[in-house]
Amino acid sequence: MKLPDNTDFAAGACMGIPGLTAVQAVHLAGNENLRGKKVLVTGASSAVGHYITQMVTQYGGQVIGTVGSEQKAAHAKAAGAVETIFYSMPRPQVLLKPFFTKQSQCLSA
């Protein structure tokens, strides 16, 4: 896998399986077609979710991420999530509904 010019070998070596899993998920979601779309990333602060959030953001998508704590929300937002929803809230699907249409994507980390 070729690393971007601004990524050194040490940073690339840290990607490993979570990074490759994220690449595959974003590719299957249609990476070139994510611009302007809202994408739900479940587990947005996990290793895979963090990479997915960064990649979707790079492709111009808007990430709404599910997280479990304030600290994890900050981590997801640092990766590019525009909004975070706590999955431990009662009925999180009610909180998510205003963000999405039938054309939205969901990537599970």
The residue whose two tokens read 């431990």 is 88
> How far is residue 5's CA from residue 24's CA, in Å, rounded to a whole number?
21
What is the structure's pLDDT at 9? 85
pTM of the model: 0.77
> How far is residue 75's CA from residue 67's CA, in Å, rounded to a whole number?
9
Tally the domains of the chain: 1
* pLDDT tens-digit readout, 37-92: 888 899 999 999 999 999 999 999 999 999 999 999 999 999 999 999 998 877 76
Has residue 4 got a pLDDT over 70?
Answer: yes
CB 100 within 8 A of CB 38: yes
In 41-99, alpha helices (H) = 47-58, 70-79, 92-96
The 10 Å Cβ neighbour count of residue 47 is: 17
Give a yes or no: residue 3 inside a domain: no
Give a yes or no: residue 69 inside a domain: yes
CATH at 103? 3.40.50.720
Full domain range(s) for residue 59: 9-108
> What's the whole-number mean pLDDT along residues 19-47?
89
Has residue 106 got a pLDDT over 80?
Answer: no
Has residue 2 got a pLDDT over 80?
Answer: no
